[in-house]
């Protein structure tokens, strides 16, 4: 049977040796929650939950799926028990404000936990990500009364949260939504609103795990402007909440059906109907007609969390393929051995496994890097650093979301190939990883939309300032690579340095072209948006992999017989260098070709008919 082991060695390496996450303890509010010891303890306990409770119900949950009967949704066997343990452990509030019952840990720790949850059980993992987004939206934009009423129960997991955007006629074009909000001007309900409309693709919109579900709903007020400028955000609870926090009557909303999906079968994806009997009671969040702005608070966090879904599934698919390849014997080795050998002795299988491992490590490093920047953007005392960090987060959020999920799909697909015929059989477990992660490239804005956001709002609009600052950081690694060449990492450093230099040059060329071309020919730039996003992700990942190789080389050289590498396993450090070398030789070298696609791709696309 498949197993899952949380990759704590690599997680610790990225956090401590690559990103120096302990520095977060210098940020206000994190002084007591960001020590290396505490973070490691939290993650070790989280790993046990994922390995022992969530992973064992992953495959069975996929097979059973959710049940729908007369507006009631029942989750698969074992999910209620796992959810109870999840909430009792406080995992719903890892990074939530302690004022409302949260642990107050850095967002970085929460996102690491999100990766492990998604590795062990992606269907289950989609719930906490959405609830966290709803918590953040209310915390930042809600009234004090709304915070006091909803957040303690949501942080505790007693209540869960959703976001309701999509409608049958309004997918990515949110401005076309028709759900209405009618203000109540008289009587005991004056100041409230009545919501009417239908929303689709609502993840965990109805379920049996929590006592209440707090829906955040986009709707249009009477006489509101057309398009996105006329959308407001509302809190619409499943059960109305009394002033003392007790639950009241059932609100006028219901799940009318569940979507029959390709994957994530244990995650209920609901069609929600609001106001069939007159209107669902709702409460305005913030100001009128600023709903899209507020919802982006949820969506940015959700997009980072979705990127971690890609990392998590990639890690699980790699472990599955690696373990199978080590046991499956077939064929003779090319060294002339007569006896049958495990397939991981064959060069092409090794290539596939290394591609899975290297890509997973690169996406993990970039996702954690952005999460740490998010913490700095929210907490750093220096306003200039906060602004710079937020600009970096804004630039890279679409990259983490799109590149990590595309990579997760690729890694899961390669995992099936490693297993061969067995990989195509559901019983092996491998197809579920690909089925589950495929949707991640679609929701919260398709990856093409992420790419358009990247080139338009994040690069062209600011004349490439943040992108060029990141490129300058990448170029600054050339000196340390040159110094280490032939020392700690042998010939590997030279090869990594050469590939990284060419890749960064290619990224700079494509970035300059986008800035210059966008004002006069935005269509040409748009045609290269997806290749540019892949290029930026590929090079940023390669930069961090090169930094990882340097760190591993230093730790390995310091090891010796006296344990000077803090007890780190020499085999693990050697594997880190091999992953970086593979990444440089097989992946980073794609950068110049992608740059040419960005700058030349419009010619044929513009003539499509």
Catalytic residues: 444
Pairing mode, strands 269-274 and 280-284: unpaired
| DSSP reduced 3-state for 223 | coil
Whole-angstrom distance, CA of residue 416 vs CA of residue 447: 23
Q: Interior CA angle at 107 toward 104 and 112, to 5°?
A: 115
Whole-angstrom distance, CA of residue 57 vs CA of residue 339: 38
Whole-angstrom distance, CA of residue 183 vs CA of residue 579: 58
- Which of the 8 DSSP states describes residue 167? B
Q: Where are the beta strands (DSSP E) in 95-211?
A: 159-164, 180-183, 193-203
Of 67, 94, 97, 96, nearest in space to 79 by CA: 67
DSSP-derived secondary structure for 432-477: HHHHHHHGGGTSSS-HHHHHHHIIIIIIITTTTHHHHHHHHHHHTT
Whole-angstrom distance, CA of residue 301 vs CA of residue 111: 10
Helices (H), 50-143: 58-64, 79-88, 107-120, 122-141
Query: Distance of alpha carbon 149 from its chain centroid, rounded?
Result: 29
Of 580, 302, 568, nearest in space to 444 by CA: 302
| DSSP reduced 3-state for 588 | helix
Whole-angstrom distance, CA of residue 537 vs CA of residue 544: 11
Whole-angstrom distance, CA of residue 97 vs CA of residue 105: 9
Helices (H), 272-382: 291-327, 347-379
Q: In DSSP terms, which residues pair with 67 in a beta bridge?
A: 74
Whole-angstrom distance, CA of residue 146 vs CA of residue 143: 5
Whole-angstrom distance, CA of residue 322 vs CA of residue 165: 39
Whole-angstrom distance, CA of residue 215 vs CA of residue 202: 10
Measure the N-to-C terminal CA separation of the chain; round to a whole number of Å: 50
Pairing mode, strands 329-332 and 232-237: unpaired
Of 512, 496, 485, 508, nearest in space to 588 by CA: 496
Whole-angstrom distance, CA of residue 74 vs CA of residue 95: 29
- Which of the 8 DSSP states describes residue 414? H
Whole-angstrom distance, CA of residue 430 vs CA of residue 412: 8
Whole-number Cα distances in Å, 121 to 40, 57, 202, 541 = 21, 8, 19, 25
Pairing mode, strands 67-69 and 247-250: unpaired
């Amino acid at each position: 049977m498949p197993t899952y082991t949380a990759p704590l060695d690599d997680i610790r390496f990225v956090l401590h040796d690559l990103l120096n996450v302990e520095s977060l303890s210098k940020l206000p509010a994190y002084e007591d929650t960001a020590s290396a010891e505490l973070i490691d303890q939290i993650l070790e306990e989280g790993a046990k939950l994922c390995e022992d409770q969530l992973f064992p119900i992953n495959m069975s949950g996929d097979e059973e799926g959710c049940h729908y009967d007369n507006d009631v949704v029942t989750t698969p066997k074992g999910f209620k028990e796992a959810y109870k343990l999840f909430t009792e452990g406080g995992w719903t509030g890892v990074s939530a404000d302690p004022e409302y019952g949260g642990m107050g840990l850095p967002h970085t720790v929460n996102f690491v936990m999100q990766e492990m949850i998604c590795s062990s059980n992606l269907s289950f993992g989609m719930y906490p990500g959405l609830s966290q987004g709803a918590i953040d939206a209310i915390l930042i934009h809600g009234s004090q009364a709304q915070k006091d009423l909803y957040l303690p129960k949501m942080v505790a997991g007693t209540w869960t949260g959703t976001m309701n955007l999509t409608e049958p006629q309004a997918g990515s074009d949110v401005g076309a939504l028709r759900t209405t909000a009618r203000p109540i001007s008289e009587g005991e309900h004056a100041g409230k609103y009545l919501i009417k409309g239908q929303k689709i693709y609502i993840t965990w919109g109805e379920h049996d795990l929590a006592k209440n579900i707090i829906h955040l709903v986009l709707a249009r007020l009477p006489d509101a402007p057309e398009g996105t400028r006329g959308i407001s955000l509302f809190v619409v609870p499943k059960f109305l909440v009394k002033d003392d926090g007790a639950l009241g009557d059932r609100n006028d909303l219901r799940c009318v059906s569940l979507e029959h999906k390709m994957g994530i079968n244990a995650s209920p994806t609901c069609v929600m109907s609001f106001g069939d009997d007159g209107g669902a009671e709702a409460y305005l969040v913030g100001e009128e007609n600023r709903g899209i702005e507020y919802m982006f608070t949820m969506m940015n966090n959700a997009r980072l969390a979705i990127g971690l879904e890609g990392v998590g599934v990639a890690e699980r698919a790699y472990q599955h393929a690696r373990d199978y390849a080590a046991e499956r014997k077939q064929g003779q080795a090319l060294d002339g051995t007569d006896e049958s050998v495990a397939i991981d002795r064959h060069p092409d299988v090794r290539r596939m496994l290394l591609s899975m491992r290297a890509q997973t490590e690169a996406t993990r490093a970039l996702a954690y890097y952005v999460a740490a920047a998010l913490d700095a953007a929210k907490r750093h005392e220096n306003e200039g650093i906060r602004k710079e960090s937020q600009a970096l987060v804004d630039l890279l959020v679409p990259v983490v979301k799109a590149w990590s999920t595309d990579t997760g799909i690729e890694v899961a697909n390669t995992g099936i190939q490693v297993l061969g015929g067995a990989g195509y059989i559901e019983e092996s477990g491998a197809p579920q990883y690909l089925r589950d992660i495929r949707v991640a490239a679609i929701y919260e804005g398709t990856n093409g939309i992420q790419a358009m956001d990247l080139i338009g709002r994040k690069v062209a609009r600011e004349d490439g300032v943040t992108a060029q600052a990141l490129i300058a950081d990448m170029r600054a690694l050339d000196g340390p690579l040159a110094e280490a060449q032939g020392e700690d990492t042998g010939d590997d450093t030279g090869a990594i340095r050469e590939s990284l230099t060419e890749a960064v040059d290619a990224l700079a060329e494509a970035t300059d072209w986008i800035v210059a071309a966008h004002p006069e020919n935005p269509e040409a730039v748009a045609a290269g948006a997806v290749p540019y996003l892949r290029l930026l992700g590929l090079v940023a990942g390669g930069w961090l992999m090169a930094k990882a190789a340097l760190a591993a080389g230093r730790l390995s050289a310091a090891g010796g017989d006296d344990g000077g590498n803090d007890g780190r396993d020499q085999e693990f450090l050697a594997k880190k260098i091999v992953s970086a070398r593979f990444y440089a030789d097989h992946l980073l070298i794609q950068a110049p070709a992608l740059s040419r696609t960005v700058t030349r791709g419009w010619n044929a696309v513009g003539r499509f008919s």
